[in-house]
């Protein structure tokens, strides 16, 4: 409608959510769709976290919490940062929000002025671009390919920097590519950033624990980076708590204060029961969630070996998160069952319609040669899905 704002008219619908909606629609029509489009663990929340939530209800945690989160939750987050990341964030440097997605939106809204450039190594998480644009920032995409494991090199970063560059946003482990930056690789980027002290970094570490490579590296822990990095994390992925909507940042205290001020006008803070449950999640040893990480690794190995038997799929070996991001550009220009495949969106739509498997086009993540397949699904579903894809191709 014309009555809607330019702001909303310019915003794109989240492609991952749109694909999930389309899959749901086909399912309602009676089609047997295997959904590999959503970034959502298929595990139940561990019982000890549920118990903490039930206790919080009984203890009447039903009023507004402090805008930036309960003090004991922020202490638990501070301890977690020290334990897992060797990062010293005092409780006053921490802001708890309604999912990491809101944490990112807060940061964009408090850090960006119109025209400020934000470097996004592509492929990037689907919402970065729109969140930056909502805050009137200008996304600057740095395309990477499967040849560098979808990682941005220091020289690519250097070439993308202009006097208008304000921030760099990236995720490691990366959604959608599963790539994990090593400490050396992060140091290489930090060396370039050292020449440009005006640039801030958003380090989205929400897949931190889902890492098959070894120790997670936080860019804020690299010399010179602490003051200029906003470390974003949350409980959605590692603790299978997507619906609880709890995320958080650690940052310089002036940035944390600004996010709290912003959030105070938008949500008044994250939901109370979710916050109480998050204390239990973060205080538990990581060994309590290791079973999920082990399962993800098995499924990664399974889906890689199965997809490897399909002609025309180029694959990297994702070292974290729960996605594969095959380059399927060899199909472009071909006809499949009378349908011409021009791009990754056509390809993903073809898989949905002909194989009844929901994936997401790489275009949504800034990479038009790939599709994203989530393997947060059972082994049977993975086997069946790849079998159907193979037949449809």
Residue ranges binding ligand PLP (CB under 6 A): 39, 99-101, 125, 171, 175, 204, 206, 234, 236, 242, 247
Tell me whether residue 130 or residue 353 sits nearer to ligand PLP (CB atom). 130
Of the chain, the end-to-end C-alpha distance in Å amounts to 40
For ligand PLP, which residue has the nearest CB? 99
66, 50 contact by CB (below 8 A):
no
DSSP-assigned letters across all residues of 98-159: SHHHHHHHHHHHHH--TT-EEEEEES--HHHHHHHHHTT-EEEEEE--GGGTT---HHHHHH
Tell me whether residue 177 or residue 356 sits nearer to ligand PLP (CB atom). 177
Strands 34-35 and 229-234: unpaired
CA torsion sign for 190, 193, 197, 198 is: negative
> 10, 18, 12: which is closest to 360 by C-alpha?
18
Tell me whether residue 104 or residue 389 sits nearer to ligand PLP (CB atom). 104
Tell me whether residue 185 or residue 204 sits nearer to ligand PLP (CB atom). 204
* Tokens at 100, concatenated: 């990491």
CB of 163 to ligand PLP, least distance (A): 28
Tell me whether residue 37 or residue 329 sits nearer to ligand PLP (CB atom). 37
CB of 195 to ligand PLP, least distance (A): 27
CB of 301 to ligand PLP, least distance (A): 21
**Using CA atoms in the order 211, 344, 165, 321, what is the torsion angle rounded to 10 degrees?**
-10
CB of 104 to ligand PLP, least distance (A): 7
Tell me whether residue 171 or residue 218 sits nearer to ligand PLP (CB atom). 171
CB of 320 to ligand PLP, least distance (A): 11
Distance between CA atoms of 171 and 203, rounded to whole angstroms?
A: 6
* Dihedrals phi, psi of 84, to nearest 5 degrees: -95, -25
Strands 371-374 and 360-361: antiparallel
CB of 146 to ligand PLP, least distance (A): 19
279, 73 contact by CB (below 8 A):
yes
Tell me whether residue 356 or residue 374 sits nearer to ligand PLP (CB atom). 374
Tell me whether residue 39 or residue 269 sits nearer to ligand PLP (CB atom). 39
203, 170 contact by CB (below 8 A):
yes
* DSSP single-letter state for residue 351: I
Q: Is 231 helix (H, G, I), strand (E, B) or coil?
A: strand
Tell me whether residue 123 or residue 326 sits nearer to ligand PLP (CB atom). 123
Tell me the three-class secondary structure of 252-294, residue by residue: CHHHHHHHHHHHHHHCCCCCHHHHHHHHHHHHCCHHHHHHHHH
CB of 266 to ligand PLP, least distance (A): 15
CB of 335 to ligand PLP, least distance (A): 34
CB of 290 to ligand PLP, least distance (A): 21
């Amino acid at each position: 409608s014309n009555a809607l704002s330019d702001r909303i008219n310019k915003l794109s619908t989240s492609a991952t959510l749109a694909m999930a909606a389309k899959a749901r629609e086909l399912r309602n029509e009676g089609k047997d769709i295997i959904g590999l489009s959503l970034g959502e663990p298929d595990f139940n929340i561990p019982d000890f976290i549920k118990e903490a939530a039930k206790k919080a209800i009984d203890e009447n945690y039903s009023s507004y919490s402090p805008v930036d989160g309960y003090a004991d939750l922020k202490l638990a987050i501070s301890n977690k940062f020290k334990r897992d990341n060797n990062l010293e964030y005092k409780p006053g440097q921490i802001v708890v929000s309604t999912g990491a997605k809101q944490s990112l939106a807060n940061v964009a809204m408090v850090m960006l002025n119109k025209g400020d450039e934000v470097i996004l190594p592509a492929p990037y998480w689907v919402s970065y671009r729109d969140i930056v644009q909502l805050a009137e920032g200008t996304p600057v995409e740095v395309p990477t390919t499967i040849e560098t494991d979808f990682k941005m090199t220091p020289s690519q970063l250097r070439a993308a920097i202009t006097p208008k560059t304000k921030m760099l946003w990236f995720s490691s482990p990366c959604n959608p590519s599963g790539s994990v930056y090593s400490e050396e690789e992060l140091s290489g980027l930090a060396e370039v950033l050292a020449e440009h002290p005006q640039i801030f970094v958003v380090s989205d570490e929400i897949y931190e624990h889902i890492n098959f490579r070894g120790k997670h590296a936080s860019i804020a822990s690299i010399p010179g980076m602490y003051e200029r990095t906003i470390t974003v994390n949350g409980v959605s992925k590692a603790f299978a708590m997507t619906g609880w909507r709890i995320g958080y940042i650690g940052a310089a205290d002036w940035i944390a204060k600004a996010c709290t001020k912003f959030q105070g006008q938008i949500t008044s803070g994250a939901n109370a029961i979710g916050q109480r449950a998050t204390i239990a999640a973060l205080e538990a040893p990581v060994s309590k969630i290791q079973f999920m990480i082990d399962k993800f690794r098995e499924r990664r190995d399974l889906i890689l070996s199965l997809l490897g038997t399909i002609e025309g799929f180029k694959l990297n070996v994702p070292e974290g998160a729960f996605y594969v991001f095959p380059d399927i550009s060899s199909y472009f220009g071909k006809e499949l069952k009378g349908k011409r495949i021009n791009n990754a969106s056509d390809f993903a739509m073809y898989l949905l319609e002909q194989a009844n498997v929901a994936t997401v086009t790489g275009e949504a993540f800034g990479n038009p040669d790939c599709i994203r397949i989530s393997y947060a699904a059972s082994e049977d579903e993975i086997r069946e899905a790849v079998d159907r894809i193979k037949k449809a191709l």
